[in-house]
Amino acid sequence: MNENKNITIGDVAKALGVSKTTVSRAISGKGRIGDATRQRVLDYIEVNNYRPNPMAKGLADQRKYNICWAIPGDSNVYALPFFQKCMAGVCEVTMATDYDILISLVYEDNISHLERIVENKKVDGVILGRTLVDDIAVRYLKSRNIPFVTVGSSKEENVIQIDNDHENACKELTERLIERGYKKLVLIGGSLNHMVNVTRQKGFELGLKTAGIEPDESMLFLGNETTEDVEEAADKAIKAGAECIVCMDDSICRDVILKLRRDGICIPEDIGIASFYDSDLLAGNQPQVTALKYDPQKLGNMACNILLKLINGESIPDKNLMGYEVLIKESTG
């Protein structure tokens, strides 16, 4: 057989003098076929480097060999690198399989593109790149009985979740800041419909309580959607006597730093700054920012590996958490 030729099931059947159905059953392991015949087919395809055509394979085992990577279409430009790195992690896994990736954009109040992909049976499973408190995408996928996992925690029951350990990470960083002598910490955060923000707030408050500080409204400036909102929150935090501003993510931290610079407020001499997410957005800042470091690419790896196991019918725990690193740097003295 010509080694450069992509052989087909028909070629294998002709060479061995059996039917194409017999070859298909031998490859899939399904259907009635003698052990000797099955082994003869498997030996032949191994010697001749046969790889099933994904479309033909999909018809044989009723799979599409596509998975959907659903990312938020309403993310700001600063959040895109996170989703890109996650997707790179997903691609690393699918490169070693017969699976391809379809990308879908989902919005907080519009998942029509995702619905179309699922209703048209284009994918075997879905990875949701973001979770919400009011999550119509999660509820929809549960109703369709399709294998799916979320990158992020979910309040919905019976959902396979892959997430960074935000709660313990934020708790630990908050405790470390208090150990460094900061007595008045404030938290500036974004949308309260994003589960990651809810989890980070919980970690912040747990860190305060562990240090014997009872959280109150004067420490929380949440629900900020725009740069103007963040700047106004920073003004209020300073007026409230904040010694250290803890930012929910890198984008908010960048806005706060730029605001303080314009106002002539020095970091860390006048006020400390920390972020619950480190990224390239903060990499060039001077002083360097105290932050939490995660690995989005490994998050994508895990999400894809778990989805493929789910598609294959394996049992998976609902909650799968990844580690973190606390980076104490110059912005907190």
The alpha carbon of 74 is separated from its chain's Cα centroid by a whole number of angstroms, namely: 16
Closest CA to 252 of 80, 113, 78, 127: 78
Q: Output the pLDDT for position 132.
A: 97
Q: Which of 13-27, 167-181, 200-214, 268-282 has the lowest mean pLDDT?
A: 13-27
The DSSP string of 141-157 is: HHHHT--EEEES--SSS
Q: Where are the domains of the chain?
A: 9-61, 66-164+296-323, 166-294+327-332
Residue 56 has pLDDT above 80, yes or no: no
List strand residue ranges (DSSP E) for the chain, in order.
66-72, 100-106, 125-128, 148-151, 160-164, 185-188, 220-221, 244-247, 272-275, 290-293, 319-322, 325-327
Give me the CATH code for the 9-61 domain, please: 1.10.260.40
The alpha carbon of 31 is separated from its chain's Cα centroid by a whole number of angstroms, namely: 39
Residue 65 has pLDDT above 70, yes or no: yes
Give me the CATH code for the 66-164+296-323 domain, please: 3.40.50.2300
* Interval 28-34 mean pLDDT: 71
Q: Output the pLDDT for position 2.
A: 44
Q: How confident is the model at residue 59 (pLDDT cuts 50, 70, 90)?
A: very low
Q: Output the pLDDT for position 51.
A: 64
Q: Output the pLDDT for position 182.
A: 96
Phi, psi for residue 278 in degrees, rounded to 5: -95, 140
Q: How confident is the model at residue 54 (pLDDT cuts 50, 70, 90)?
A: low
Q: Output the pLDDT for position 13.
A: 84
The alpha carbon of 171 is separated from its chain's Cα centroid by a whole number of angstroms, namely: 21
- For residue 137, what is the enclosing H or E element? helix 136-144
Asked, as a colleague might, if the bond just before 215 is cis with ω within 30 of 0, I would say no
Q: Which residue has the tokens 């999660």?
A: 138
Tens-place pLDDT, residues 218-258: 899 999 999 999 999 999 999 999 999 999 999 999 999 99
* pTM of this structure: 0.81
Give alpha helix (H) positions in 240-295.
Answer: 250-262
Q: How confident is the model at residue 61 (pLDDT cuts 50, 70, 90)?
A: low
Query: Token digits for 113?
Result: 């593109």
Query: Token digits for 216?
Result: 């109150």
Tens-place pLDDT, residues 77-95: 778 889 999 999 999 999 8
> CA 244 to CA 237: how far, in whole Å?
9
Which residues share a beta bridge with 273?
Answer: 245
Q: What value does the mean pLDDT of the chain take?
A: 91
Closest CA to 234 of 283, 287, 196, 271: 271
Instruction: Choose which CATH entry (3.30.565.10, 3.30.70.270, 3.40.190.10, 3.40.50.2300) describes domain 166-294+327-332.
Output: 3.40.50.2300
Q: Higher model confidence: residue 302 or residue 46? A: 302
> CA 105 to CA 9: how far, in whole Å?
38
Residue 60 has pLDDT above 70, yes or no: no
Tens-place pLDDT, residues 254-279: 999 999 999 999 999 999 999 999 99
> How many residues are present in the chain?
333
Asked, as a colleague might, if the bond just before 52 is cis with ω within 30 of 0, I would say no
Q: Higher model confidence: residue 48 or residue 167? A: 167
> CA 114 to CA 196: how far, in whole Å?
22
Residue 46 has pLDDT above 80, yes or no: no
The reply to whether 66-164+296-323 and 166-294+327-332 are identical in fold is yes
Q: Output the pLDDT for position 1.
A: 42
